[in-house]
Amino acid sequence: MSEITNLHDLPLVVGVDIGGTQVRVAVLQGATLLSRVDLLTGENAIPERLISCIYNAVRKALDEASTRLDQIIGIGIGSPGPLDSHTGIVFDPPNMPGWHNVPLRDIFKEHYDLPVFVENDTNAAALGEYLFGAGRGSRSMVYLTISTGIGGGVIINGKILGGISGTAAELGHITIDRHGDRCNCGNIGCLESIASGTAIARRANEAMAGDIDFRNWMSERLPHNIAVSELATLPVNKDESGQKNLVDARLVAEAAAKGVPLACEIIHDAAEAIGIGLTNIIHIFNPELIILGGGVTQIGPLLIEPALHIVQERAMKVPRDAVRIVQAQLGTDAGLVGAGALIYSNIS
């Protein structure tokens, strides 16, 4: 299905969006959620226990949407990777302890006797944007999500670029600074290690250690912030005085917006890295469209404008003139809509 023409004709699907902290389940018609059930993943989310909770959530979601299982044409599952989308086996997601080579697709297929497709969560979100969001009408596009981590999803002629093991498009793990820090993935100087929410927060905490003014500025604002940390949040750190600090990317952006020099520097550095990442994507894929999503992009022009300036300055003219760079449209529902989109994309 390369483009959805009439949204009302779309059959119903179930979308399951598995994350490290919560699982969301919905009955969907295209991008419309007819019901939604959220459940916490919990600390001991061994596969058997979590899967049985998901079965319950699916039953509840069907009830809430007044829908019977036989009205559903398939179940799409977005899960943290690495996973093999061809076989539906989830390998060892770093934030899903206890998960090891789980044949998620076959488990669900056997339980429901319905078509089931499993895809890396970012690829699913990319497909959601492609079919129902900012990517509608395009044939090929790149989705870049900048959040706690940085992920990518690439659609070429309507199909997810999966690679031989379904782990392609790890666009946050392109080395852009060969002399940089080691990334969580084991590689050096990845885009994620410089421009993710976690990286921005880490750099702010490091900067605070060496700059009393910056630390004071941050400390005064911390009480407001501790409760609201939609963006990446560092684990609680202690500074020299033994005081706890908790600074996230949102607070750093707020400080930068008010002109605090160290915060400006950190945000500008992340923006430059994002601009380099975008330039790399343009040179690699020569895409028609790049869609930017994820909480960190909500920092807005302060982050995005210098990034686009880098693209103007550095990308080759022909592919630079051909690309449109836009914001994602599906927001926090991207994962669920994307999970459902797996069914629309695979069953025509």
| Residues near a second copy (CB under 8 A), total | 47
According to the binding rule CB under 8 A, does residue 184 interact with a second copy? no
Q: Comparing C-alpha atoms, which of 302, 312, 310 is closest to residue 272?
A: 310
User: Is 209 among the residues that bind a second copy (CB under 8 A)?
Assistant: no
- Closer residue to a second copy in complex, CB, 85/233: 85
Does 346 help bind a second copy (rule: CB under 8 A)? Answer: no
Q: Does 168 bind a second copy (CB under 8 A)?
A: yes
Which one of 151, 287, 338, 340 is in contact with a second copy (CB under 8 A)? Answer: 287
| Residue 156 found at the interface with a second copy (CB under 8 A) | yes
Stretch that binds a second copy, among 52-60, 177-185, 234-242, 244-252 (CB under 8 A): 177-185
Q: Which residues contact 312 (CB under 8 A, 6 or more apart)?
A: 320
Q: Is 164 in the site for a second copy (CB under 8 A)?
A: yes
Give 154 or 336: the residue with its C-beta nearer to a second copy.
Answer: 154
Q: Which of 330, 216, 203, 321 is nearest to 264 (CA)?
A: 203
Q: Does the footprint of a second copy cover residue 238 (CB under 8 A)?
A: no
**Could you tell me the smallest distance in angstroms from the CB atom of residue 290 to a second copy?**
11
Question: Is residue 268 involved in binding a second copy (CB under 8 A)?
Answer: no
Which residue in the set 114, 158, 288, 327 belongs to the binding site for a second copy (CB under 8 A)?
Answer: 288
**330 neighbors 125 (Cβ within 8 angstroms):** yes
| Long-range own/partner contacts, residues 159-162 (CB < 8 A, 24 or more apart) | 159/345, 160/85, 160/119, 160/123, 160/126, 160/127, 160/345, 162/85, 162/86, 162/123
For strand 83-84 and strand 89-90, is the pairing parallel, antiparallel, or unpaired? antiparallel
Q: Which is nearer to a second copy, 106 or 288 (CB)?
A: 288
Q: Phi/psi class of residue 54: alpha, beta or left (left: φ > 0; alpha: ψ in -120 to 50)?
A: alpha
- 3-class SS of residue 67: coil
Asked if 179 touches a second copy (CB under 8 A), the answer is yes
CA torsion angle 225 215 236 275 (round to 10): 80
Annotate each residue in 67-106 with x if it binds a second copy (CB under 8 A) or - if it does not, as one string: ---------------x--------x---------------
Which CB, 26 or 83, lies closer to a second copy? 83
The angle subtended at Cα 277 by Cα 275 and Cα 283, nearest 5°, is: 105
Amino acid at 263: A
Closest CB to a second copy among residues 169, 255 = 169
Nearer residue to a second copy within complex by CB, 55 or 91:
91
167 C-beta neighbours (distance < 10 Å), count = 16
| Other CB atoms within 10 A of residue 329 CB | 18
- The answer to whether 186 touches 173, Cβ cutoff 8 Å, is no
Stretch that binds a second copy, among 154-162, 211-219, 250-258, 298-306 (CB under 8 A): 154-162
Contact present, 125 and 155 (Cβ < 8 Å): no
Please report whether residue 319 would count as binding a second copy according to CB under 8 A. yes
Binding site for a second copy (CB under 8 A): 82, 91, 140, 156, 161-171, 173-180, 185-189, 272-273, 276, 279-280, 283-288, 313-316, 318-319, 322-323
